[in-house]
A and B are shown apart, each in its own frame.
Chain A
């Protein structure tokens, strides 16, 4: 964190254009040479309800939402445009102002729309402003927008005002508007932007210190979410079939794919339910196409049986699971990492699947590609496990990161020429499930290939695919399927999929998986800056688990804190189960209130765990090591 970094929050009601305005704001700053990171907070309501998005911008790469924020644009009221429908929780009218004050840092800047919000309705507003040295700029954005265009253009007025206060060049906003708006909307918006900017510059004396940081990167950047990168990874890996049923937050990946696939001659199917969705992906894959499906917790639960079929029949497929807070429908729009065990163990029988959990937006692209490589290379289902946080947050990534060759390889399949040479059983039936397969991988044939027909079945089967309950056959096939995971482990070890943070040697360790990786990385740096000796690891391979690498890591530290967003320490449990020891070295820092960690919470949790300090008042939970 640098002194001058900007953490801008825009707040209003769902439907006020908070998402699109913040997205453009982030893009404008990215174009100005800054590194950006967004954090989205929204209720499970379509219109109305309080929502905000934060844009953190810095000259240095940004890895997390940061702690609190330092500039508020309170734009609308939380009623959106339906004030008659009684609000079901208090202070609805001033929520975008009142609700956000708790996290506004000292010395912060407040811009609010006096056309909609009345600060007098917040009882202790003046005192808090004084106490925290906040700098308040009340502006009638609603009136400005109405006078110079239409009332809905309040967000443009708000952007013009903050741009003036923070010293951001309007050119970037204008360009973005010109790219996305038709002429008749563009003109009034431009006028509002300039009018507000100039008015604020002229009428206000700026008392605050905060200014936009200096832009530094000179490489071309793109602003992407994890949902984007998962979809793009799939497309680059040759995926041309998706089937799904909407469920937040998986819907984002599904939507992106549905829009992109027809462009490249691919097929997207929205179907009747998630069982069908997963089954369709299996059908398409069986017929020789790279296919995916996915859902969030409840929908993924329905996929459990097709997933098992994919394992038994060794049909390659990629499923994505976008976690949100559960159980059941839980908090539909809030992140949590509590489906790990669900994804690892759902479906009957011993699990033969790959589970990968990307740690950042950029990594999600690689892991998505990797999931397809593993699924199709080893004829095994692969699951990409991520959460609402990675799925929805926007980050800048250098465009060159995506400048790679496509990989349409269908993996472990035969050609017709190979089929002639391949072993066939009595009666000429192709041996699809050979006992002697190298790395456990017995190549499949694709329907329509001459001489390749075989039987797929979810029942135990012999080399030719015939249902077979012979005990020796059973043991051979079980062991062959399981051996693929060993081969995959070896392959992954060579790829270096885990992310190491901080110094090579350190006394203490921070361990995390999935979306908390960036925040932990930031905490590791802060802790070392503060004189602690800490290193960290972000684990992305959930199955097969990186046993050797994690054993080495844990042997090298005195103690380690496992950071995850759930209440039962699922990842810590997995680690202990897989490594078979280290229970006394591992403690947990957990958060499950529907918000991701902030770096300061991890710093505080670490100090509490290692130095026995009190856990400060915040919504995290510290669970000490076994025997502690």
Chain B
């Protein structure tokens, strides 16, 4: 019997399994876009057939990081900006887990920007949801890396002099093999995209537009969005990287001008995931490493037998 028998268990999964029985002491404001992510995620779980004991959800710090308090599974509410390195190591240790990382735009594109680039580059098989509300929520409304140029806040009283980060383009150039944007105002598309992202075998980046009614009433996240995959105005082929790049720039420009483009921008199903690459060069075992610690028959090597000769 596997030490991790929750993994791969075949049964009907009810989305309510992911709802904590205890109301969390947390903390989201009424009308917060984060509820939209939560709802979409819960709806997606039964479709991918994963139960709470086989899902590891690693979050950073921020209002977004509180997702763990609302979502029942193996949760890891970590530190600001560091959800990705924790998540990707867990995936390497046990590739059979469903690993999801989540955090805010400050968390993911600011303090954790370096990890974002590198995790995308490595193409770990995991889903990364960024709650993009263009503001620092939890620390009370400071300018974030996705706030528009000129955005005024208590820490940027004269308006930000910086151009915003372009998360979709960044994900694409860094090497993410699945890049999408969706919005809390459209739970149906959001759910579909999350299902796809989780089923995707590689690094799936979802820039999730969420509204922060408390600190960022000006953001465009409320306006009707256009689904590039459905819209007749856009004939977008998400397998074409150059087209994806163009569409991403368009979406990133349009966002601050009131035209919210969402959908799947890029899907590369051929690129091997990082674990597959590591296994191919002999740097990672085929069997989940974590299983080995529960296998009484495993013969553990010792340095006395395998390494000391070279020192004699």
Chain A residues near B (Cβ < 8 Å): 31, 220-224, 228, 232, 235-236, 238, 240-241, 243, 260, 262-269, 271-273, 275-277, 279-284, 286-291, 305-306, 309, 313, 399, 402-406, 408, 410, 415-416, 425-429, 446-459, 464-469
Chain B residues within an 8 Å CB radius of A282: 78, 86, 89
In Å, the complex CA distance between A431 and B130 comes to 30
Chain B residues within an 8 Å CB radius of A289: 93-94, 289-290, 293
| Residue B307 is within 8 A (CB to CB) of chain A in the complex | yes
Evaluate contact between A448 and B306: CB separation under 8 angstroms: no
Evaluate contact between A408 and B300: CB separation under 8 angstroms: yes
The stretch of B185-193, B205-213, B250-258, B276-284 in contact with A is B276-284
Q: Which residue on chain B has the smallest CB distance to residue A455?
A: B75
Q: With A281-B89, A447-B90, A465-B75 given, is the CB distance from A267 to B283 under 8 Å?
A: yes
Q: With A446-B4, A458-B79 given, is the CB distance from A267 to B284 under 8 Å?
A: yes
Can you list 25 A-B contacts (CB < 8 A)?
A: A223-B312, A228-B311, A235-B303, A238-B293, A260-B307, A271-B85, A271-B118, A276-B114, A280-B86, A280-B88, A283-B86, A283-B87, A283-B88, A288-B290, A289-B290, A425-B22, A448-B97, A450-B6, A450-B9, A453-B72, A453-B73, A457-B68, A466-B25, A467-B69, A467-B77
The stretch of B48-56, B217-225, B260-268 in contact with A is B48-56
Chain A residues within an 8 Å CB radius of B77: 455-459, 467
Evaluate contact between A284 and B93: CB separation under 8 angstroms: yes
| Residue B26 is within 8 A (CB to CB) of chain A in the complex | yes
Count of inter-chain pairs, beta carbons less than 8 A: 238
In Å, the complex CA distance between A171 and B26 comes to 74
Q: Which of B264-312 contact A (CB under 8 A)?
A: 278, 282-285, 289-290, 292-294, 298, 300-304, 306-308, 311-312
Q: With A284-B89, A289-B93, A454-B75 given, is the CB distance from A404 to B308 under 8 Å?
A: no
The smallest C-beta distance from A282 to any residue of chain B, in angstroms, reads 6
Evaluate contact between A267 and B88: CB separation under 8 angstroms: no
The residue that A467 contacts in the complex, of B24, B88, B292, with Cβ under 8 A, is B24
Q: Which of B114-130 contact A (CB under 8 A)?
A: 114-115, 117-118
Chain A residues within an 8 Å CB radius of B308: 222, 399, 402
The smallest C-beta distance from A471 to any residue of chain B, in angstroms, reads 14
| Residue B3 is within 8 A (CB to CB) of chain A in the complex | yes
Chain B residues within an 8 Å CB radius of A427: 20-22
Chain B residues within an 8 Å CB radius of A404: 302, 304
Number of interface residues, chain B, beta carbon within 8 A? 67
Q: With A410-B293, A454-B75, A466-B25 given, is the CB distance from A403 to B304 under 8 Å?
A: yes
In Å, the complex CA distance between A575 and B88 comes to 41
Q: Which residue on chain A has the smallest CB distance to residue B21?
A: A427
In Å, the complex CA distance between A427 and B72 comes to 10
Interface string of B20-42 (1 = CB under 8 A from A): 11101110000000000000000
In Å, the complex CA distance between A284 and B94 comes to 8
The smallest C-beta distance from A402 to any residue of chain B, in angstroms, reads 4
Evaluate contact between A262 and B69: CB separation under 8 angstroms: no
In Å, the complex CA distance between A462 and B212 comes to 29
Q: Which residue on chain A has the smallest CB distance to residue B71?
A: A455
Q: With A221-B312, A426-B22 given, is the CB distance from A455 to B68 under 8 Å?
A: yes
Q: Which residue on chain B has the smallest CB distance to residue A235?
A: B303
Chain A residues within an 8 Å CB radius of B47: none
Evaluate contact between A283 and B311: CB separation under 8 angstroms: no
The residue that A284 contacts in the complex, of B22, B53, B92, B118, with Cβ under 8 A, is B92
The smallest C-beta distance from A413 to any residue of chain B, in angstroms, reads 8
The smallest C-beta distance from A218 to any residue of chain B, in angstroms, reads 14
Chain B residues within an 8 Å CB radius of A220: 312
The smallest C-beta distance from A463 to any residue of chain B, in angstroms, reads 12
Evaluate contact between B298 and A408: CB separation under 8 angstroms: yes
Q: With A236-B303, A268-B283, A448-B54 given, is the CB distance from A284 to B75 under 8 Å?
A: no
The smallest C-beta distance from A197 to any residue of chain B, in angstroms, reads 24
Chain B residues within an 8 Å CB radius of A235: 301-303, 307
Chain A residues within an 8 Å CB radius of B7: 448
Q: With A402-B303, A448-B94, A449-B3 given, is the CB distance from A283 to B89 under 8 Å?
A: yes
Evaluate contact between A279 and B86: CB separation under 8 angstroms: yes
Chain B residues within an 8 Å CB radius of A265: 285, 289, 292
- Given A240-B292, A448-B96, A452-B74, 7 extra CB contacts under 8 A: A232-B307, A267-B93, A276-B85, A404-B302, A408-B292, A448-B4, A466-B22
The 8 closest A-B pairs by CB, nearest first: A427-B21, A448-B4, A283-B89, A288-B290, A287-B93, A283-B86, A279-B85, A280-B89
